[in-house]
Amino acid sequence: MKIMRPMGAVGIVASAALALAACGSDPASNTGTSTSGAASAATGTANVQCGGKSPLSGEGSTAQKTAMDIFAQQYAKACAGQVVNYNATGSGAGVKQFNAKQVDFGGSDSPISGADADAAKARCAGSPAWNLPMVVGPVAIAYKLDGVTNLTLTGELAAKIFNGQIKTWNDPALVAANPGVNLPAKPIQVFSRSDESGTTDNFQHYLAAAGKGAWTQGTGKAFKGGVGNGASGSNGVASGIRGADGAIGYVESSYVKDGLTAAKLNSGSGGVELTPQNVAKALDAAAFKTPGTNDLAMDLDKIYASNTPGAYPLLLATYEIVCSKGYDADTAKAVKAFLTTAATTAQQPIADKGFVPLPQSLQDKVLTAVNAIS
């Protein structure tokens, strides 16, 4: 079964009069989860140098669509008359459009590397593109199972479900991990993304890092588990799970509603609930793939494999892919103003929609990189 989601362009016009209620169709707008009390939240202000190109254009990650709405609104407040158009078509499409010079920045749920990074360097007139983490949010292993609302999974169990080794809900390994939970003798129906997705890439990295060798299928933006049903976009996956008792899949946390439940994750210190505060605990251990540079691609594998008590490790960071150099002066000025706003005053508003605000240490690194764009 393949459930397709319309992938039409979604333009965001940054207008100071934009009402947040207009985003009511966005899944994250209905989470009811606030991170306003999360530790180490960085929500300060910065000196925004307004001006330059308008409208700016971006394309990519659907996971950050709600955040982009708010970034655009906050940018308009900081810089009257400035507009951002963001096309939420998926990470793969966003990277391709950025590398083809069709947009000013790309949005991706995983940092670019390899051939994509080489193409981005060519697009940026010979200078490298930088991965700047701007939106951090949890990924849920969401399920629908009649009578069960307190499921705990380890990384190993999740890996065995998503590659087909565990096929029924009353499998002895699942029963042992969930004492006191009445798991029925129903087949497990796996749902995954049928389109290329940074969410899939992050999820498979989690399975590889936390699965204790159970996940040998590899990583990447295409799902490699080889089982179950494909659906387009996180909304398609959530709809597929919602329509089948005994179903399970992976989606951004904002899609866990209307009958879906997020599994607790046990990394060795007991099951941890998906909450912004528990994700923030995991984020405190963030490391970078190229430390000491302005390319801020995070090494999330270290978080995925960690056993920090009380930390929920399955998260993703959506990146804005930008040229370090190679923009014309007007574009560079506007890109810097927009990203400065997004990394500072816009962090608390997105936190109120279930995302995790950038910790101060990470915000400082992002602003250093933004200021170096030319």
Last residue of a domain, one of 279, 296, 327: 279
Q: Give the DSSP H/E element, type plus range, for residue 86.
A: strand 84-87
Query: pLDDT tens across 255-297, in order?
Result: 999 999 999 999 999 999 998 889 888 887 778 999 999 999 9
Task: State whether 144 and 132 are in the same domain.
Answer: no
| Alpha carbon 222 to its chain's center | 16
Decide which of 254, 279, 304 is a domain's last residue: 279
**132 and 185 fall within a common domain:** no
For residue 267, being part of any structural domain is answered with yes
Annotated binding site: 61-63, 91, 109, 197-199
- 272 and 182 part of one domain: yes
Residue 19: pLDDT over 50: no
Same domain, 239 and 343: no
What are 25's two structure tokens?
């169709």
CA–CA separation, 176 vs 147, rounded Å?
18
* Predicted local distance difference test score (pLDDT) of residue 354: 76
Does 39 lie in the same domain as 165?
no
169-186 as b/e: b if 16+ CB within 10 A = bebeebeebbeebebeee
Residue 16, pLDDT score: 29
Residues for the chain: how many in total?
374
| CA dist., res. 261 & res. 142, Å (int) | 5
Arithmetic mean of pLDDT over the chain = 87
The domain tally of the chain equals: 2
Taking residues 145-168, report their average pLDDT.
Answer: 98
118 within domain boundaries: yes
| Residue the block writes with tokens 């923009």 | 327
Domain co-membership, 236 together with 353: no
| Helix, strand, coil percentages, rounded to 5, for the chain | 35, 20, 45
Measuring CA to CA, which residue among 32, 69, 70 is closest to residue 275? Answer: 32
Share of the chain above pLDDT 70, in %: 88
Q: What is the pLDDT of residue 28?
A: 33
Q: Is residue 127 part of a domain?
A: yes
Q: Which residue ranges make up the annotated binding site for phosphate?
A: 61-63, 91, 109, 197-199
The domain boundary, picked from 250, 279, 308, lies at 279
Q: What is the CATH number of the domain that holds 261?
A: 3.40.190.10
Same domain, 75 and 157: no
pLDDT at residue number 267: 96
In this structure, the answer to whether residues 30 and 79 fall within a common structural domain is: yes
Distance CA 146, CA 291 (A): 46
* Residues 61-82: tens digit of each pLDDT: 988 999 999 999 999 999 999 9
Q: Which domain holds residue 168?
A: 139-279
Average pLDDT of the segment spanning 53-58 = 98
Domain check: are 260 and 195 in the same one?
yes
Label residue 290 exposed, middle or buried (CB < 10 Å: 0-12, 13-18, 19+): middle
pTM of the model: 0.73
pLDDT at 90 (0 to 100): 87
